[in-house]
Structure 1
């Protein structure tokens, strides 16, 4: 039996660990030069940095994941630096690209551990050089040992905002400001639910306290107005405080993000059905607690199946591998299965509390000025989308894929990964309908850009 695991983050590592223990030699693919995922991403070998400095409180877990990863490489068909750009469940084939070379790979079962990416709300001026996502700023810190500027402002909401502020502080790159769009009172109302996270919650409080104690300017409940600057640089961020006061923070770079969204394009191409998760305010692929989908042979684990964090991803990866083994007639440890499912279930209340405490600010996307670029690849503005919601010839577009046909939203390099969520909010507001009724941009191969020569072949 040929099994493929896509992704070598926490979910992929634990999935492969179970498969190898069962006597299989899976094909293991990751787009990065090495495994660990984004959260435990390793720097290049030339950059030697202490794990505690790189991962802080997560150093012990990062070492454990890396140790397991390294021990498994020789027991698998390990393929780093490899992009899976298409999956066809009818022919049971994956299409991959590595070092400019295309390859087709047959499989009997596949576990997709594709991770997540930042969720962005466009802000006037967000396409200026010097503006990145929170995740990109964190990657620069981990892999290059550098900040994205000398005076970096951080804006958005969610745990990553405060984690990155703390990491920048520890690295000696004191943030110019932390701008959280969620009011403090709103977060405080969900404190009881957050307590269910135990040590995770207390670590989060520590990050917040450390940033405040260092004197970093912190504003909560803000409304961003514009990222200011010239064609070649950022000079500041203008915003309205929770009390209604207009403020400006000088900065030469800005990282922003409003939580995460699953990287689920491969699941989409595999024919997995999706549902709109009201709590996460995300479209997520449907699977059961074991990671099974309705598509035979396709299993999902980690944040690519719905945002749950690194701890939950490790458990989900192991459980998905056991589900695959069960479904192919191999004996599994029933006690182990039961323990994994109990631990996964215990994490759900905390995750729900996090989503409630740091909600996606849909109102910010819906209120974007008409001239604001939403799809930077195709230069589509919020006004273009509102026009698509109206009368012919530019509309009406009752759902997002029709708006794509009218406007080219999502036809660029990111295929709607960045612009899709905000575009859906704008279209829903213009039509006066719930965002779930607007749908999502359907995945298309290749899921990421490939050389034209390979596409032609």
Structure 2
């Protein structure tokens, strides 16, 4: 049986581990040159930082994932620096590009462990040089051993906001401020559920306590107003506190992010149905607890199937592999499958509490000033999309894909992966409808931009 696993983060590593243990040699594909995924990304070459400083409390699980990857890579058909840009489920083929060369991978079953990316709300001035997502700031620190600026302000909400600020400060960077758009009272209300994740909750308390102890300015319940600067970069971040007072934080770089969204484009192209998850405020592909999708032979695991974090991704990757083997008629350890099911179910309560503690601030996106660049690929403003939803001469755009036809929102290089969440909120507010009714931008190949490739000498399978 030809098995393809896309992604070498925590979910992909544990999926491959189970498949190899069952006697298979899967084709294992990742865009990166090495395993670990974004959360446990390895530097391309060692640059002298102790892993405990690089990964903090995650050093031990990161080391375990890295060790498993190093053991597994020689036992599989490992294809690094390879982008899967299209999937054709009816033909059971993946379209790839690797180092500028196009190729195809034939498969009988596939496990998609495609991870997640930052969810962004544009802020006036967010297209200036020196503004990155929180994930981008973290990658710079892990992969290149550098900060995104000399004096960095972090803006957004969610656990990643506090983790990245902590990692930067721990690495010796100057953190100008941590500005959380979620009020403290919202987090306090979610406290009973957060206590279910004792270790994770304790780590979060440590990060915030440590940052405060270092004298780093921290404010919760803020409203971002604009990022100042010019064509050369950032000079400051202007924001309003919960009492309505305006402030300015001097900085030369800003990291922004409001939680994560699944990188589920391949699942979309595979024909997997999606549903709107009200709690995550995300569109997520449909799958059962074991990772099975309604499209036979296609399995999902990790944050690409719904945001759960690294620990959940490891459990889900192992469980999806067992489901694949079981569906293929192979013997599996039913006790292990049951244990993984219990562990995954046990994580659901804590994850729900996290979503309640750090909700996506839909109102910030809906209230973007008209002249704010929303879709930077196409230079589209929030006001232009708003007009398409309410004053369009051809009739109001009733959903995201019609708005795309009218305005080109999401038609650029990112295909709406960056602007899509905020665009949906603006359109929903313009029509006074729930955002779930606005729909989502349909996936289109290629799922990510790439150079025009050279043809492969012969197809690899």
Measured in 2, the distance between the counterparts of 1:351 and 1:392 equals 40
How many positions carry a matched residue from both structures? 457
Partner of 1:2: 2
Aligned to 1:34: 34
Pairing of 1:210-221 with structure 2 (within 5 A): 210-221=210-221
Structure 2: gaps (5+ residues)? none
Is the contact made by 1:194 and 1:201 (CA closer than 8 Å) also made in structure 2? yes
What's the counterpart of residue 135 of structure 2?
135
Tell me the distance in 1 between the aligned counterparts of 2:45 and 2:166.
25
TM-score after normalising by structure 1: 0.99
Please report how far the alpha carbon of residue 189 of structure 1 lies from its aligned counterpart in structure 2 after TM superposition: 1.2
C-alpha separation in 1, matches of 2:67 and 2:47:
18
SS where residue 176 of structure 1 aligns?
strand
Tell me how far apart the structure 2 counterparts of residues 394 and 130 of structure 1 sit (CA, whole Å).
39
Displacement, 1:451?
Answer: 2.4
Q: Give the match for residue 405 of structure 1.
A: 405
Aligned position for 1:99: 99
Q: What is the distance in 2 between the residues matched to 1:167 and 1:46? A: 18
| Cα contact 1:82–1:97 (8 A) shared by 2 | yes
State the superposition RMSD in angstroms.
Answer: 1.3
2:208 is matched with 208
Match of 1:159 in 2: 159
Checking the alignment, whether the CA contact within 8 Å between 1:395 and 1:403 is kept in structure 2 is no
Deviation string 1:109-165 (CA, Å, 9 cap, x unpaired) is 000000000000000000000000000000000111111111100000000000111
Could you tell me which residue of structure 1 aligns to residue 441 of structure 2? Answer: 441
SS in 1 for 2:87: strand
Q: 1:259 to 1:241 in 2, by over 3 A?
A: same
Distance 1:44 1:161 in 2: 24
Q: Secondary structure at the match of 1:416?
A: coil
| Alpha-carbon distance in 2 for matches of 1:454, 1:177 | 47
Task: Measure the CA separation in 2 of the matches of 1:160 and 1:393.
Answer: 42
Which residues in structure 2 correspond to 1:38-53 (within 5 Å)? 38-53=38-53
Shift of 1:453: 4.9
TM-aligned CA deviation for residue 169 of structure 1: 1.1
Determine the structure 2 residue equivalent to 1:428.
Answer: 428
How far 1:449 moved relative to its partner? 1.2
3-state DSSP class of the match of 1:156? Answer: strand
Deviations 1:273-302 (A, max 9, x none): 000000000000000000000001000000
| Structure 1 partner of 2:178 | 178
Contact map agreement 1:116 1:260 (CA 8 A) in 2: yes
Aligned to 2:199: 199
**Residue 195 of structure 2 aligns to a residue in which SS?**
helix
Tell me how far apart the structure 1 counterparts of residues 243 and 370 of structure 2 sit (CA, whole Å).
26
1:255 is matched with which residue? 255
Q: 1:233 to 1:281 in 2, by over 3 A?
A: same
- Matched residues in 2 for 1:113 and 1:395: separation? 40
Distance 1:200 1:290 in 2: 23
Does structure 1 conserve the Cα–Cα contact (< 8 Å) formed by 2:122 and 2:372? yes
Distance 1:304 1:392 in 2: 35
The residue number in structure 1 matching 2:280 is 280
